[in-house]
Structures are given as C-alpha cells and as structure tokens.
Structure 1
Amino acid sequence: MGVGEITQQIKLKLDPRTKFVLLFGVGSSCLMLPPFWLEIATFILLSLLLIASGRFRSVVKFAVILSAMISLDIIVVPNISGGGVSLFLSVARMARLILPIFMAAMLLLKTTSVSEFIISFERMRLPVKVIIPFSVMFRFIPTISEEWKSIRDAMRFRGIGISVKSVLTKPMMTLEYTMVPLLMSTATIADELAAASLSRGLDADTKRSCIGDIRLHGSDYLLMLFSVGSVIYGGLT
C-alpha cells in the first residue's frame, strides 16, 4: 500500500472556518515567541493535518527544513560569539516562526474550494461586499502561482533561466522578462475572476444552496480550542 492510498484512508475533512481559526491562532501564537515545546507541538499537529489532507510530500519538505534549522541552532550558535549570534538567532528564529504559519496557510488554501469558502463566509453572516473580494482573492492566489510556473517554463524554453545567479548578474533583464508578463497577466486574471464571480450570482440577494457537507464536527472544535488556547498561553507567558 502506497503513501497516497494511506492518506486517502485517513483523509480528514475540516470546516473552512476551522482552518481560518487555526491560521490566525497559529500566526498569533508564533508571533508571541512560544516556547520550544509548543512550537514542536504545533508543527506536529499541522503535519498530521496536512498528511490527512494528502500533502505528505510537503510535510517531508517542512520536516527537513525544520530539522536543518534546529540543527544549525544547536551546532552553530555555541561556536560563534558577538553580534553574529544575535544576527543568526534572529534570522533562524524568524524562519522557524514563519514555517507553521506557512503550513497553516497551505492547509487553508490547498484543501478548500472556492465554493466552500463562500458557504463558510455566508454562515458567518458576512456581508456580500466582504464575500466577493475574499472569494476572488482565494481563487486569485493559486491562479497566479500557475501563471508564474508558465512564465518560468517559457523563459527556460527561450534559454533564460530564473535563478539566484540570473537575479544577481542580470537583474534588469530578469525583472523585465518575468515581472512584466506576470503583472500584465495579474490584471487580466483579476478582471476575469471578478466577472466570473458576478456571473455565478455571488451578488444576488437570494440564499445560495450547497451540495457539500459544510458543518462543524468534534475535530473542528478541538482544533479551535487548541488555537485559542495557544494564543492565550502565549499572551500569559
């Protein structure tokens, strides 16, 4: 049995509202400089949620990054002194704090459809003026990611690689060949997504129906409790 089959068997369906609370809870807790045990517990929890959502390879990459950061913290810090310690600790610590936030954002964006976002917003009693921009934004982010991959592939086909070396040696050419097409595509995509949202009746006054099962379960309440508890603990410590 492969990893994909295992993740399909343990797949966990979370309410989008729970993912929002988890993102804000993890973000607030990480910015409060949590203790190491809470940082590891948060990472393990998010890893399990991503694995249950079919993101096993992403979890492996995150685990390698976190292990490298912790190893550098243990090996490098005792061997340096002076201002270098403060600089290294600031950079390494900040990167470790951002990692759980990035994982929670991936869980929210990669495992939730636009329709689920809209239904969740409506059940939160948010006004239409808030629902439409948010629905466009959440569809906009993955679309821009796909557009960036297309631009990068097109540049490689023309023999122009996008790398750190190209940015340092030919910054203006790299900027022209990548950012200009991306910005032009961004403006077009934003207009198309806004028109598509309106054509689907998002601005209608009638109540929308949903064939999906969008409701809170026991696991949702437990995750919300963890998010709120980590923020409260971070505020008290």
Structure 2
Amino acid sequence: MNGSPLLRFDPRTKILLILLCVLSTAMAPSLNYVLGLVSLIALLGILGGKGLYALVGLMVYAVLFLLTKAALAGGETTLHTTLIAFLGLFHKVYPCGFLAGIVIATTKVSEFLSAMHRIRAPQSLTIPLAVMLRYLPTIREDWRFIKDAIRLRDVSPSLKGLLTQPVMTVECLYVPLMMSASRAADELSIASVTRGIENPAPRTCLTQIRFGFVDLLTVFCFGVYFATGQFL
C-alpha cells in the first residue's frame, strides 16, 4: 500500500508536527487520547504515501493498547506494577517514534535543507539532522543484509535466537551491525561535505518548497487535538 503520496507536506510542517506530538504524549490525559493521536499519525502516513507502514504501526499500537488495558485490570503484584510502568513509558515514546519514522521516510535531504535555509536555521542544527535522514535508512538496509547473511549460518536473528545462542547471535548480528553503523556514519559525513552541505550559498530544490493550505490545515488539526487533551 506504499505508493505515491496523496498530499505533500513541507519539511517545516513535519518538524512542527513532531513538536506537537511530543507535547501531546507528554501531557496525554488518557490511553484513549494516545490511541487517537496514533490514529491521526496513521492517517497522516496514509496521505503521505506510507499506507502499509501506517497501518502496521496502528495495528501494533492497538495490540499494546489492549495489553495495557488488560494489565490495568489485573491484580497488584510486583510483576504487574513493573509491566504497567514499562507499558506507560512505551505509550509516551511510541507516537513520537511512529511519526518520526513517517517523517524520515517521506522527506528528502534536499527538500529538508532548502526548507531549513528559508527559516535561516543554523548549520550546526541542519547538518546533523540532514545526515540523520540518510543515516537511519542506510542502517536499516545494512540490518536486512546482515540478517540474510547470518541465516546461512543457521543463526536466527530473533529474540529466541538471542536466548538460545547468545554468543553466536551477538558475534554474527550485533557486532557487524555496530561496525556497519560506525562506517556508515563516517561515509555519510564525508559524502555530505563533498556534496557541499557546508556551502553557505542559497540552496535550490527541484521540488517546490512552500507552506501551503494543506500544511496549515494539518498543523491546525494537530494543534486542536493537543489543546483538546488539556481540557479532558
């Protein structure tokens, strides 16, 4: 269900949405409110062309939502209290990570740099964020390659494999991943400097970057939802 986006959002809009999402989850009055926020983010992902990612993310959270409801209805034991605390932290982090994944998947580095230049953001802020936009997809691709390779050695890249073969799993999966992450960071930094990321001249972009009615309406909807949570 991933395909061409129905709507295109300005990178500055996405940054505002992340800030509103952080505030909404930090001051969420209830689990139902967080579920509504995740549903709103999923709708944003569908409109942005990441329908499969959005639906899977929504279903995963729905399972966690039901699990949390069941845990809250259980008895008061040490294990029960620990589980509630863990799930509570998860509900605070999940919407922000969910939205950040959509933002990273739908934002090109050139568009991001052009938008940041228009608001005169300092390079000390824009350069690390631009490198991050390329870093995470690169690590995800390396992760898939490493998992395919270790299956040839009959090592399962899962929690079960970590519990049954901890030494082999760490050696074949996590060590190569750490080395790949370090190498990718160096390569992306060098490539960014080579392509003139530090050039102070005005940047151009083939995609038209402007804050339009769709961006205004989206920020308004997230802002209203945040304000609604403060009066529940």
TM-score category, normalised to shorter length: 0.7 to 0.9
Amino acid of the structure 2 residue aligned with 1:115: S
Amino acid of the structure 2 residue aligned with 1:177: C
Q: Which moved more, 1:122-131 or 1:72-81?
A: 72-81
Alignment coverage as a number of residue pairs: 232
Does the 8 Å CA contact 1:25/1:231 hold for their aligned counterparts?
yes
> Which residue pairs with 1:100 in the alignment?
95
Does residue 1:143 correspond to 2:112, yes or no? Answer: no
Q: Distance in 2 between matches of 1:89 and 1:191?
A: 40
Kindly state the Cα deviation for residue 152 of structure 1 after the two structures are TM-superposed: 0.9
Show CA shifts across 1:130-185 (max 9, x none).
32222112111110111111111110122222111221233232212222222222
Kindly state the Cα deviation for residue 25 of structure 1 after the two structures are TM-superposed: 1.2
**TM-score w.r.t. length of structure 2:** 0.86
> Which residue pairs with 1:41 in the alignment?
36
Q: Distance in 2 between matches of 1:174 and 1:160?
A: 7
**TM-score w.r.t. length of structure 1:** 0.85
Does residue 1:170 correspond to 2:165, yes or no? Answer: yes
Does the 8 Å CA contact 1:16/1:117 hold for their aligned counterparts?
yes
Gap runs ≥5 in structure 1: none
> Which residue pairs with 1:224 in the alignment?
219
Gap runs ≥5 in structure 2: none
**Structure ranking higher on relative contact order (CA contacts 8 Å, 6+ apart):** 1
Give percent identity, aligned residues only: 30
Amino acid of the structure 1 residue aligned with 2:40: L
- The counterpart of 1:123, out of the listed 118, 136, 160, is 118
Structure 1 vs Structure 2 CA RMSD: 2.5
Does the 8 Å CA contact 1:21/1:227 hold for their aligned counterparts?
no
Q: Distance in 1 between matches of 2:126 and 2:147?
A: 32
Amino acid of the structure 2 residue aligned with 1:200: R
Amino acid of the structure 1 residue aligned with 2:130: S
Does the 8 Å CA contact 2:74/2:80 hold for their aligned counterparts?
no
> Which residue pairs with 1:111 in the alignment?
106
